[in-house]
Chain A
Amino acid sequence: MAEIALHGTEHGHPSGITRWLFSTNHKDIGTLYLLFSLTMFFVGGTFAMVIRAELFKPGLQFVDALTFNQMTTMHALVMIFGAVMPAFVGLANWMIPLMIGAPDMALPRLNNWSFWILPFAFTLLLSTLFMPGGGPAGGWTMYPPLFLQTGMAFPFVIFAIHLMGISSVMGAINVITTVFNMRAPGMVFRKLPMFVWTWLITAFLLIAAMPVLAGAVTMLLTDKYFGTSFFNAAGGGDPVMFQHVFWFFGHPEVYIMILPAFGIVSQIVPTFARKPLFGYTSMIYAVGAIAILSFIVWGHHMFTVGMPLAGELFFMYSTILIAVPTGVKVFNWVATMWRGSLTFETPMLWALSFIVLFSIGGFSGLMLGLAPVDFQYQDTYFVVAHFHYVLVTGAVFAIVGGIHYWLPKWTGRMYDERLGKLHFWLSVISVNLLFFPQHFLGLAGMPRRVADYAVQYTEWNMMSSIGGFIFGASQLLFLYNVIRTIRGSGAKASDQVWEGAHGLEWTLPSPPPYHSFTTAPEVK
């Protein structure tokens, strides 16, 4: 096999601060992404805690309505663009080269650039909270004309989003290039691990969706400062047009946040079932189908804007159709478990709870997809419950599971299993206490994005807030467990780490050498 003498090695193993600032190493950049994401998760979570504290009971106790709206908006922007997406990019950075037997990502300097744009983008975004008039308060969906009423913060938010978009697109280009071009000999497409497949398709979604968001916010910017009238009927535009452009991005975006999660779960379940993934090929087709469908369903966020009937029907049919390929995935996971030899280490617990709770979120999604009833659900806490089930118990649970799954590989140390399980059980119970009552709130008539509410919603809100505080506090256990593992406490991990684990990444030592595959491995 051809020898891959890495030029990086000529310079030795970089150390000190420049190791991180100037890195061209996929593992270091992956680590940076993950640490950044963890930080943002806590920042966004802190905003969520403010929301839950304020909603604990009727009346305003802690913040005024303006601050509340800023918290809602910032919470979502930080969680989506700061926590979940960078976490997935971090995992991709770490795992894709290991899984496909590559020396590194295909474009290492670009990789570093994608990361380093992010802290600056979030500096712009978060700094708005300290400006006169405060941060953006129009919701993460930024609908005009309301969003155009934002004060000083406005251009900062727009440019922050541009930067995040640039970062994501460059990250996605890197993933595609790596998967197309850097596979070890024999690592043909039909052997790619599921995580790589889902990320590859996610990368296409990113490249197709993020520039559209950039276009949408650019139009917002010119409408506010340069007199254009894209979203102003007086000049022949339409505020609803923004929603079309935004959701053309926005719906693929939500699948961007779930497809890699599917990939992680598809890695974990076979490992702890000690059985190959059921329906590998149909899994790939299902992800592909979800990705394609995701571009023609955006109107389901806009059922109530007064769309023509034909539009409502089209978007309703295409939306509920997504249940079919998603169902295929769920059934395949169950079939993988079927007649396996199951054990329940922490990563598996997260994966299993993912399957159940994500499905619950999917079911409420399906209900939302039925336009005539969405006229009742739209903009209520029922929607909030839906998307937290798919985002928190979906995306975030998969990420947390993935981190437990791969942490021993990354650090060479086992995390504390008892602490891991404790964290899991606390989280999974409190998260249901947090989000399940929100279904009831929504159905009973509580709109979302309100700082204060009618007294009949008090009980469910109290419950939800209590669940939220417990869930938030539990995450400190996670933080502690991760830190102590990184710092080298814990038993030494073997190369394979998990008895049932298969794949190239488990053939390398734990932790893997600084340059993963200096000799391209042979894949049989």
Chain B
Amino acid sequence: MTGKSSRGFCLFSVAAASVAGSAPAVADYAFNLPSGVTPISHEAYRLHMLAFWICVGIAVVVFGAMLWAIVHHRKSRGAVPAQFHENTRLEIVWTVIPFLVLVVLAVPATRALMAMDDTKDADLTIKVTGQQWRWRYDYLNEGVGFFSNVDPKSVDASKRGSGIDPASVDNYLREVDQPLVLPVGKKIRFLFTATDVIHAWWVPALGYQVDANPGFISESWARIEQPGTYRGQCSELCGVGHAYMPIVLVAMNEPEFDAWLAQQKALQAKAATAAERMWTKDELYAKGQEVYGRICAACHQPNGQGIPGVFPALNGSPIATGPIAGHLNRVMNGKPGTAMQAFATQLSDVEIAGVITYERNTWGNKTGDVVQPAQVKQARK
């Protein structure tokens, strides 16, 4: 039946050509694994190509034999069936040869696996935390950490009936508000975990993905060879926002990286001092609106209506309009066993105070309450 599948292929390449031709704006498509920018990714690529060509080779032999039989041993050509149905030597040959082929594949694969396993002697350790639906990066021992959210332009364009053409959005679904920044040439060790469900961190240019399991840590490492921007996304189904968890990684030379890190440290120090003072209602509301849009709207929706049966509405919710303590508790401690996770460890006092103030004073919720960062701090104890 090789005849048939090659016919399939012909049709298929014609279709490929015509579709590609009719959409000149998006010529960016690819069809093979990228070779990537780390020793590991090159290794994976080489193994991939080796396995591919071996399979092609076997396919040519096996399907070739089939085709030969189909052409020459057909009844319409007057073929008379032979009656043999056994040949021990042949059987042994085609058991042993594939086995040897497998050995040829297993050796480099074993070597690659062992190399990947060795996370010792890293220059820098990054903790990567997955969460519905964003990534958090913590530069361990540097005191720097931040969330990385999907670019809102992509989310808007993605919505049903948005009227926005995704092709008009730069790096549609592959853009974030704050990328992970890494130095080139250093051994970077990653620690993966998650706060809610399983996510997987995948940047093809690094050559692998690793699952981020809640409650456990998985490790891997990379040594990036060239500066550049590398994109990927969460690759383990993690709920409604799974398609909206991109990863952007910017690799830069060491001096630039050091400057960037110093700047981040300064920014975070400034934010920490800000938390100490009293905030006005408007400041908190504005802060809360920003946090809500960034974090909470993914589930509870920008209009606070939630998704019936899945995420409760906050507009008019008994908790968001009831006693402040209850509201604080739900946001800080979440509700175990549901998608509502504990945000106490993830958001700062200001952010929590802001978002609660916002939720209590927006949509139809007109409680007039203000929650100060100090109250949040109190509640943490």
Pairing of A with B: yes
Say whether A173 faces chain B, with CB atoms less than 8 Å apart.
Answer: no
> In the docked arrangement, what's the CA distance between A273 and B29, Å?
44
Say whether B106 faces chain A, with CB atoms less than 8 Å apart.
Answer: yes
**Which residues of B have CB within 8 Å of A317?**
106
Q: For residues 414 through 463 of chain A, which have their beta carbon under 8 Å from a beta carbon of chain B? A: 425, 428-429, 432-433, 436-437, 439-440, 443-445, 447-460, 462-463
A279 touches B91 (CB 8 A): yes
Which one of A174-182, A201-209, A249-257, A324-332 contacts B? A324-332
B73 touches A338 (CB 8 A): yes
A327 touches B66 (CB 8 A): no
A378 touches B209 (CB 8 A): yes
Q: For residues 52 through 76 of chain A, which have their beta carbon under 8 Å from a beta carbon of chain B? A: 57-66, 69
Closest Cβ of chain A: how far from B303's Cβ, in Å?
15
Chain A CB count within 10 A is highest, among B80, B198, B232, for B198
> In the docked arrangement, what's the CA distance between A406 and B290, Å?
65
> In the docked arrangement, what's the CA distance between A452 and B164, Å?
14
Contact among A224, A304, A428, A445 with B8 in the assembled complex (CB-CB below 8 Å): A428
A459 touches B210 (CB 8 A): no
Q: Answer whether A456 and B30 are a contact pair too, CB < 8 Å, given A324-B99, A432-B5, A433-B12.
A: yes
A341 touches B174 (CB 8 A): no
Say whether B259 faces chain A, with CB atoms less than 8 Å apart.
Answer: no
Q: Mark A353-364, 1 if CB is under 8 A from B, else 0.
A: 101110110011
Q: Mark B145-177, 1 if CB is under 8 A from A, else 0.
A: 000000000000111101011110001111000
Say whether B337 faces chain A, with CB atoms less than 8 Å apart.
Answer: yes
B172 touches A151 (CB 8 A): no
Which one of A1-9, A82-90, A188-196, A367-375 contacts B? A367-375
**Which residues of B have CB within 8 Å of A443?**
30-33
Contact among A64, A304, A316, A456 with B29 in the assembled complex (CB-CB below 8 Å): A456
Which one of A38-46, A137-145, A161-169 contacts B? A137-145
Closest Cβ of chain A: how far from B228's Cβ, in Å?
15
A376 touches B114 (CB 8 A): no
Contact among B2, B23, B197, B218 with A145 in the assembled complex (CB-CB below 8 Å): B197
B33 touches A376 (CB 8 A): yes
B243 touches A353 (CB 8 A): no
> In the docked arrangement, what's the CA distance between A366 and B57, Å?
14
Closest Cβ of chain A: how far from B73's Cβ, in Å?
5
Contact among B2, B95, B172, B234 with A324 in the assembled complex (CB-CB below 8 Å): B95
Q: Mark B282-312, 1 if CB is under 8 A from A, else 0.
A: 0000000000000000000000000111100
Q: Mark A262-306, 1 if CB is under 8 A from B, else 0.
A: 000000000001111111111000000000000000000000111
Say whether B121 faces chain A, with CB atoms less than 8 Å apart.
Answer: no
Closest Cβ of chain A: how far from B206's Cβ, in Å?
10
Which one of B47-55, B326-334, B349-357 contacts A? B47-55
A444 touches B102 (CB 8 A): no
B55 touches A366 (CB 8 A): yes
B98 touches A323 (CB 8 A): yes
Say whether B83 faces chain A, with CB atoms less than 8 Å apart.
Answer: yes
Q: Mark A311-324, 1 if CB is under 8 A from B, else 0.
A: 01100110011011
Give the residue name and chain of the B residue nearest to A328 (CB). B95
Which one of B13-21, B249-257, B270-278, B315-323 contacts A? B13-21
B233 touches A367 (CB 8 A): no
Q: Mark A386-430, 1 if CB is under 8 A from B, else 0.
A: 000000000000000000000000000000000000000100110
A320 touches B102 (CB 8 A): yes
B70 touches A342 (CB 8 A): yes
> In the docked arrangement, what's the CA distance between A59 and B157, Å?
7
Q: For residues 217 through 257 of chain A, which have their beta carbon under 8 Å from a beta carbon of chain B? A: 224, 232-234, 238-240
Contact among A149, A238, A343, A372 with B44 in the assembled complex (CB-CB below 8 Å): A372
Contact among A59, A148, A238, A273 with B81 in the assembled complex (CB-CB below 8 Å): A273
B237 touches A306 (CB 8 A): no
Say whether A309 faces chain B, with CB atoms less than 8 Å apart.
Answer: yes
Give the residue name and chain of the B residue nearest to A378 (CB). B209
Q: Mark B190-209, 1 if CB is under 8 A from A, else 0.
A: 00100011101010100111
Say whether A508 faces chain B, with CB atoms less than 8 Å apart.
Answer: no
Say whether A490 faces chain B, with CB atoms less than 8 Å apart.
Answer: no
Q: Answer whether A342 and B73 are a contact pair too, CB < 8 Å, given A148-B337, A274-B81.
A: yes
A65 touches B11 (CB 8 A): no
Which one of A117-125, A127-135, A513-521 contacts B? A127-135
Say whether A524 faces chain B, with CB atoms less than 8 Å apart.
Answer: no
A interface majority secondary structure: helix
Say whether A34 faces chain B, with CB atoms less than 8 Å apart.
Answer: no
Chain A interface size band reads 35 or more
Closest Cβ of chain B: how far from A394's Cβ, in Å?
14
Contact among B23, B82, B237 with A275 in the assembled complex (CB-CB below 8 Å): B82
Q: Answer whether A440 and B30 are a contact pair too, CB < 8 Å, given A279-B86, A340-B79.
A: yes
B30 touches A149 (CB 8 A): no
Closest Cβ of chain B: how far from A100's Cβ, in Å?
21
> In the docked arrangement, what's the CA distance between A449 and B7, Å?
30
Closest Cβ of chain A: how far from B15's Cβ, in Å?
5
> In the docked arrangement, what's the CA distance between A62 and B81, Å?
55
> In the docked arrangement, what's the CA distance between A363 and B47, Å?
14
Say whether A334 faces chain B, with CB atoms less than 8 Å apart.
Answer: yes
Say whether B266 faces chain A, with CB atoms less than 8 Å apart.
Answer: no
A352 touches B1 (CB 8 A): yes
Say whether A495 faces chain B, with CB atoms less than 8 Å apart.
Answer: no
**Which residues of A have CB within 8 Å of B363?**
none
> In the docked arrangement, what's the CA distance between A59 and B31, Å?
21
**Which residues of B have CB within 8 Å of A453?**
173, 243
Contact among B40, B81, B215 with A232 in the assembled complex (CB-CB below 8 Å): B215
Q: For residues 103 through 129 of chain A, which have their beta carbon under 8 Å from a beta carbon of chain B? A: none
Give the residue name and chain of the A residue nearest to B307 (CB). A66
Say whether B261 faces chain A, with CB atoms less than 8 Å apart.
Answer: no
A356 touches B2 (CB 8 A): yes
**Which residues of B have CB within 8 Å of A344?**
74
Q: For residues 54 through 93 of chain B, which have their beta carbon under 8 Å from a beta carbon of chain A? A: 55, 58-59, 62-63, 65-66, 69-70, 73-76, 79-87, 90-91
> In the docked arrangement, what's the CA distance between A151 and B113, Å?
40
A340 touches B32 (CB 8 A): no
A459 touches B23 (CB 8 A): yes
Say whether A146 faces chain B, with CB atoms less than 8 Å apart.
Answer: yes
**Which residues of A have CB within 8 Å of B218?**
305-306
Contact among A305, A337, A457 with B70 in the assembled complex (CB-CB below 8 Å): A337
B81 touches A444 (CB 8 A): no
Contact among B19, B70, B234, B307 with A447 in the assembled complex (CB-CB below 8 Å): B234
Closest Cβ of chain A: how far from B310's Cβ, in Å?
5
B174 touches A454 (CB 8 A): yes
Closest Cβ of chain A: how far from B7's Cβ, in Å?
7
Contact among A334, A376, A439, A459 with B69 in the assembled complex (CB-CB below 8 Å): A334
Closest Cβ of chain A: how far from B323's Cβ, in Å?
26
Say whether B219 faces chain A, with CB atoms less than 8 Å apart.
Answer: yes
A143-B197, A459-B20 are known contacts; what are 16 more A-B pairs with Cβ within 8 Å? A66-B307, A239-B198, A304-B211, A306-B217, A324-B98, A338-B65, A338-B73, A343-B76, A349-B1, A373-B48, A376-B48, A376-B204, A379-B202, A440-B30, A440-B31, A450-B243
Write 18 A-B pairs (CB below 8 A) sorted by A numbering: A58-B167, A65-B242, A238-B213, A240-B213, A279-B85, A306-B213, A324-B95, A327-B95, A334-B62, A335-B87, A340-B69, A340-B79, A372-B43, A376-B209, A447-B242, A452-B243, A454-B173, A462-B19
- 9 closest Cβ contacts across the A-B interface? A233-B215, A133-B309, A306-B218, A132-B309, A375-B208, A440-B31, A363-B55, A372-B112, A450-B243
